[in-house]
Each structure stands twice: as C-alpha cells, then as structure tokens.
C-alpha cells in the first residue's frame, strides 16, 4: 500500500467512522447479543444462563406463540398484496395530468405522514361502536359492524394499513413518471387500450419499484407492532388482547412483561431468519419477472 493509499484509507475510515460506530453499537451488537441471549435464560436483572436450544423448543411448542406467528403471516399475505395493488392503482390515477393533481397527491400521501401511534388512536376512535365509520354506514342505511371485535380486528388493522400506504404510492408514482413516453405512444399506435398499456408497459417498466415495495412491505408487515400494541395497551377492548397479538407484540410482551429476554430473543431471531429467507426467495423469484432497463 502506497503512502497515498494509506492516507486515503485513513481518511476514508475517518469519514465513515460515525456510521461504523453507530452501526456497530446500535445494529450489529444488538443483533449479535440477541442471538447469544436466545440460547440463555436472561431476565436483565440477573446474569444470563446458558440453556442451549430450550427457548427455540419452547417457542415452537407454545400454542400462543404459534398463533401469533400464524396471525402475522396471515395478515401479511392478505394485507401486503392488497396494499401493493391499492397504492399502485392510486399511483396510476394520480399519474394522469388532471386539474389539481398536486392536491390529490398531497391528500393521498398525507396519511403516510401520520405517526403510527396516532393511526392506532384514530383506529380505536373511528372504528368504535358509535364511531365515524359506523355512523356513516348507518347514515347511508347500511348495517353497522363490530370493527373492534375479535372476528374483525385483523380486517380493521388491514384497512388502516392500506389507508397509510402513501409511501408505496409515492414510490410507484416516481417509477411511473420515469417510464419513457414513447413506449406508451408505440403501444397506443399498436392499438393497446389504457388497461393493456398499464399491464404491458407500465407494470413491466416499474417492476423494480414493485419489487422494492414488496420487499419493504414484507419487512414492515412481519414486524407489525405499533397498531396492535396500542390496541392491546388500551384498556377498553380487553378481549382483543389475543386477537391483535402479532409476532412483534408477543416478543415485546415476553421481554418486557414476562422478563423472558432469552425467549424473546429466540423469537426475534426466528423473525429475522424468516424475513431474510422470504426476502431471498422474493429476490430469487424476481429475477425472472423483474425487468431492469438496459438488461
């Protein structure tokens, strides 16, 4: 290594140091520590005791944990495609050059700026028995629904998730605006109608963006925490405690309430592995269907 390379290396490391320190302290170390603690009995108040695979065995034979896993995956498999399709449809509508489109874009993006805690508080308020939604339904002569009951709480959370899908929409919009106009024109000359142009031009052209939203969506939906936690923490719908229990809320409950940091770490490790595996599968499958411009 020449002197110049050494100096460059030193300077490079110096400039990258804040990130390296932050990453090591706040991301790498917690992940490594969580994996280690997942093999221990650890309650924070006393030193960890090595128990081998006990926490993992306990996790897979505990019915409530399996229910939380099943509920989270069910939620993700339904809510994620719905939110991807919904936000794409909205992006397609907002991409059209109509009067006041800027206002529409702002209005549809605004819910994404609302903090999740506020979204959860809103959910409890607007979907309450005498809340805005039921009042509106009654006003137009439709039957009211028990939105916050055990049987409907997942659907209600999905609706709130879709309502806040503005981030996905804005990314789609950016992708759509990047599609060369001549492709649409040539498709139009070939006699393609609007839906055919969307299906055969827009969607393939923004497939990398769809992939990005899908991967981010998997990570977010499997780690769904704030809204279910807020529902569990609110004292009114007590019976929803289990109905709204997801992997992340179960991890929090075991770690904070039951002081089972080791078990919670095992749960977190399983979630991490599941997210990595699913993302890897999606990326592998996407190689066949995602089109990158220029090959």
Partner 1 sequence: MSEVQQAQQSLWRWMMQSPWERMGKGLLLPIAALGVLIGFLLVNVGERAEHVYYCTDTHRTVSRRAYERDDTGTIEKRVRVVYWEKWAGFEGEAIDKTVAYFNRTNDQKIYVDITRIGDITDKIRTATAGGNPPDLAGLHWIDIPVFAAQNALIPLDDMMDEAGIGPHTYIDAYYRLGVYRDKVWALPTTPSTWALHWNKNLFREAGLDPEQPPRSLAELEEFARDLTKVDEDGNIVQVGFLPTEPGWWKYSWGYWFGGRLWDGEGNITANSPENLEAMRWIRRFADGEVYEGLGYRELDAFKGTFGEFASSGNAFFDGRVAMVRQGVWMAKFIEMFAPDDFEFGVAPFPSREPGLHETHNAVTIGEADMIGIPQGARRPREAFEFIKFLATPEGMEILCGGHAKNSPLVETSDGWIEDHPNPYIDVFTELAESSRCYRTPPLGIWQEYNAAWARTFDDIWTRRRAPEDALDRLQAEMQRRLDHELERKRARGLELGAGDN
Residues engaged in binding partner 1 (CB under 8 A): 7-8, 11, 14, 41, 43-46, 49, 54, 58, 62-64, 129-130, 146, 148-150, 235-236, 238-239, 241-242, 253, 256-260
**In the complex, minimum distance from the CB of residue 272 to partner 1, in angstroms, rounded to a whole number:** 23
**In the complex, minimum distance from the CB of residue 156 to partner 1, in angstroms, rounded to a whole number:** 12
Helix axes 132-139, 116-126, angle to 10 degrees: 40
Taking the least distance from each CB to partner 1, the nearer of 41 and 207 is 41
**In the complex, minimum distance from the CB of residue 280 to partner 1, in angstroms, rounded to a whole number:** 33
Taking the least distance from each CB to partner 1, the nearer of 44 and 280 is 44
In this structure, are residues 110 and 169 in contact, taking their beta carbons and an 8 Å threshold?
no
The dihedral region occupied by 120, where left means phi > 0, alpha psi between -120 and 50, and beta the remainder, is alpha
Question: Tokens for 151?
Answer: 């049987």
C-alpha–C-alpha distance, residues 230 and 248, integer Å: 12
Taking the least distance from each CB to partner 1, the nearer of 49 and 178 is 49
In this structure, are residues 228 and 245 in contact, taking their beta carbons and an 8 Å threshold?
yes
Kind of pairing between the strands at 40-41 and 49-50:
antiparallel
Find the helix or strand (DSSP H, E) in which 50 lies: strand 49-50
Taking the least distance from each CB to partner 1, the nearer of 54 and 104 is 54
**In the complex, minimum distance from the CB of residue 50 to partner 1, in angstroms, rounded to a whole number:** 11
Residue 167 burial by Cβ neighbours in a 10 Å radius (0-12, 13-18, 19+): middle
Taking the least distance from each CB to partner 1, the nearer of 236 and 291 is 236
**In the complex, minimum distance from the CB of residue 44 to partner 1, in angstroms, rounded to a whole number:** 5
Question: Tokens for 193?
Answer: 């109608």
**In the complex, minimum distance from the CB of residue 128 to partner 1, in angstroms, rounded to a whole number:** 8
Residue that has been written with the tokens 């498709």 in this structure? 187
Question: Tokens for 254?
Answer: 């075991």
Taking the least distance from each CB to partner 1, the nearer of 150 and 200 is 150
């Amino acid at each position: 290594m020449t002197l110049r390379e050494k100096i460059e290396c030193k300077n490079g490391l110096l400039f990258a140091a804040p990130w390296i320190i932050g990453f090591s302290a706040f991301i790498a170390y917690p992940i490594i520590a969580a994996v280690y603690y997942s093999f221990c009995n650890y309650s924070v108040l006393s030193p960890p005791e090595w128990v081998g695979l006990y926490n993992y065995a306990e996790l897979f034979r505990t019915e409530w944990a399996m229910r939380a896993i099943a509920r989270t995956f069910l939620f993700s498999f339904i809510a994620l495609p719905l939110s991807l399709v919904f936000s794409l449809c909205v992006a397609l509508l907002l991409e059209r050059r109509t009067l006041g489109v800027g206002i529409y874009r702002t209005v549809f993006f605004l819910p994404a700026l609302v903090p999740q805690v506020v979204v959860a508080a809103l959910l409890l308020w607007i979907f309450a028995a005498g809340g805005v939604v039921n009042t509106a339904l009654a006003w137009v002569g439709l039957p009211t629904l028990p939105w916050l009951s055990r049987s409907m709480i997942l659907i209600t959370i999905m609706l709130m998730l879709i309502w806040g899908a503005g981030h996905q929409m804005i990314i789609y919009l950016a992708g759509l605006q990047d599609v060369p106009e001549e492709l649409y024109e040539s498709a139009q000359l070939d006699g393609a109608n609007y839906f055919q142009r969307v299906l055969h031009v827009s969607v393939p052209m923004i497939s990398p963006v769809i992939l990005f939203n899908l991967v981010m969506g998997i990570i977010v939906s499997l780690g769904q925490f704030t809204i279910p936690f807020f529902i569990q923490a609110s004292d009114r719908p007590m019976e929803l405690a289990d109905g709204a229990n997801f992997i992340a809320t179960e991890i929090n409950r075991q770690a904070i309430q039951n002081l089972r940091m080791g078990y919670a770490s095992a749960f977190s490790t399983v979630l991490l592995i599941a997210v990595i595996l699913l993302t890897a599968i999606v990326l592998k499958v996407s190689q066949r269907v995602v089109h990158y411009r220029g090959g």
